[in-house]
Amino acid sequence: MALAGIMGGENSEISDSTTNILLESAYFNPSSTRLTSKRLGLHTDASHRFERGADINILIRAIDRAAALIADLSGGTIAKGILDVYPTEFTPKKITARVDKINRDLGLQLTDDAISRIFRNLEFQVESVQPGTLEVSIPSFRVDIEREIDLVEEIARLNGFENIPTTMAIATVSSDLPPRHQRLERRLRNLMAAQGFNEVINFSFISPVVFDKLLLEENDPRRVTVKLRNPLVEEQSVMRTTLLSSLLETAARNISYREMNQHIFELRRLYLPKPGQELPDEPLFLAGVLTGRREVAGWNQGADQVDFFDAKGVVENILKDFNVAAAIFSAENIETFFHPGKACNIILGDETAGSIGELHPDVLGNFAIDQNVYYFEIDFEKLLKNSREAISVAPPSRYPDSTRDIAMLIADEVSFKMVLESVTSLKIKEIEEVDIFDLYKGEHIPSGQKSIAIRVRYRSNEKTLTDDEVARLHERVVKHLINALKVTIR
């Protein structure tokens, strides 16, 4: 016949041929009415009223009034008697009202009798438990009265808001320092702003189709999401497990407004379901997008576009500011949404803490972006885990340095990281720094190889190194590279 408290059936509608009418006057449970309405996506005038609570004791009076109006306006005969199903009789809710609390909250000096008189004017039953304490019975038609503070509001309303005295607000000032997590979170935001980034705030809800647009594999754990029971639209029906899709949508929208040069970031939580648990894990992640020109357009500015090393430089500045030691950038097992050969993972300690790279052209096409975009993300909790509070500082040497260069041919698969580790493994204390300053592949370079040049800086904390001493140390380095990495010195 009907959905209780929501919608009647078509077969019970009144038509021009209707002669007999059965009136029903009912009270429906607010919570069950709301759940059914939300589950079916059916919001009606009836559900709007019943899910907010109605007067359970008005039913007989209401049905008598309705029958009388129908008889007066349309004629007919009213049947005698009613059928009443009332399984659980309404018991008025009783709330204790403290006179001193009412006066303290409102800044008044009302007496017990004055407060009782106001409650009785509202058709509340009032009993005095003891001086200064009243027990108030709430009638069935006031479903909005649930707590003592609701009674305080009624006193303020009936006594008159204009009678509440004006006073200066009193606030306490606390000198407690924020915890380390909050301090470093604020510090990271300031650092991103100092590097020319603008913070964006996107919804935590995304569309389930974005995972296909990001080219995530079918078994990728980020495809498992927390689904909303009552999403406003399908495009916001699941909680996000990555910040990338939201940032790309923001970048695409800005590009459509002809804002071609963007440095934006977001520091927000992800929502990762945990098997067997109702609440998801909510790690905090930093993610950023770079696209367009490296510098603001101007007559004295270059027109170079941002590249992978701009994004990598941002991450390196973060790691340096947070005093993270021994970060490794690995090109193995990169994310599917990155361009092959133009991305790397960020390894902190023994775990992957993020990634950097140029986004895949197919991903950019899925978001209607027709220019290169570079993306990086860092797990903030892992960043904190590897961040050191204390910074050790060694005094600079008083003695001059000496540098030597090494140009070599090495296999393509040998990275500068491997070269650096090979040099540092000698544990020569006079080696202060090792840098790469040239990389070349092309004409006159054998296939499968590349030419790199490194600069080794030698310095002693005890004396000035002679040319012969530097030469001996440098010879050790060169021989070790030849034997360990099979390089060819050019």
Domains of the chain: 2-74 (3.50.40.10), 93-163 (3.30.56.10), 180-385 (3.30.930.10), 402-489 (3.30.70.380)
* Residue 60, pLDDT score: 92
In the predicted model, what is the mean pLDDT of residues 211-219? 95
Tell me the residue ranges of DSSP E strands in 139-257: 198-199, 205-206, 238-239
Question: For 332, what's the count of Cα atoms within 13 Å in the CB-facing half-sphere?
Answer: 6
Instruction: pLDDT band for 306, please (50, 70, 90 cuts).
Output: very high
Query: What are the residues whose beta carbons fall under 8 Å from the beta carbon of 443, sequence distance 6 or more?
Result: none
Instruction: pLDDT band for 483, please (50, 70, 90 cuts).
Output: very high
The helix (run of H) or strand (run of E) holding residue 55 is: none
- CA quadruple 104, 108, 111, 113: dihedral sign: negative
Asked if residue 230 has pLDDT above 90, the reply is no
* Residue 295, pLDDT score: 87
* Residue 416, pLDDT score: 84
* Residue 463 structure tokens: 């004396």
- pLDDT above 90 as % of the chain: 77
* Residue 282, pLDDT score: 96
Asked if residue 297 has pLDDT above 90, the reply is no
In the predicted model, what is the mean pLDDT of residues 121-135? 94
The helix (run of H) or strand (run of E) holding residue 248 is: helix 244-256
* Residue 178 structure tokens: 């924020």
b/e string for 242-259 if b means 16 or more Cβ within 10 A? bbbbbbbbbbbebbeeee
Backbone angles phi, psi at 215, to 5 degrees: 60, 30
Instruction: pLDDT band for 95, please (50, 70, 90 cuts).
Output: very high
Asked if residue 238 has pLDDT above 90, the reply is yes
CB 214 within 8 A of CB 244: yes
CB 377 within 8 A of CB 360: no
In the predicted model, what is the mean pLDDT of residues 44-58? 92
**Ranges 81-90, 136-145, 398-407, 448-457: which has the least confidence:** 81-90
- Interatomic CA distance for residues 373 and 384, integer angstroms: 27
DSSP 443: T
Instruction: pLDDT band for 442, please (50, 70, 90 cuts).
Output: confident
CB 6 within 8 A of CB 47: yes
The full length of the chain comes to 490
- Interatomic CA distance for residues 134 and 119, integer angstroms: 10
Asked if residue 193 has pLDDT above 90, the reply is yes
Question: What is the pTM (predicted TM-score) of this model?
Answer: 0.68
Q: Average per-residue pLDDT in the chain?
A: 92
Query: What are the residues whose beta carbons fall under 8 Å from the beta carbon of 337, sequence distance 6 or more?
Result: 214, 215, 216, 244, 359, 360, 363, 375
Query: What are the residues whose beta carbons fall under 8 Å from the beta carbon of 91, sequence distance 6 or more?
Result: none
* Residue 331, pLDDT score: 87
* Residue 167, pLDDT score: 84
The total of other beta-carbon atoms located within 10 Å of residue 310's CB is: 16
Asked if residue 374 has pLDDT above 90, the reply is yes
Asked if residue 168 has pLDDT above 90, the reply is no
**How distant, in Å, are the alpha carbons of 128, 131, 163, 416 from that of 111?**
12, 10, 15, 84
**Ranges 139-143, 356-360, 390-394, 437-441: which has the least confidence:** 390-394
- Cα dihedral 11, 17, 23, 26, rounded to 10, equals 30
From the list 236, 234, 249, 238, the residue with the least C-alpha distance to 201 is 249
CB 261 within 8 A of CB 271: no
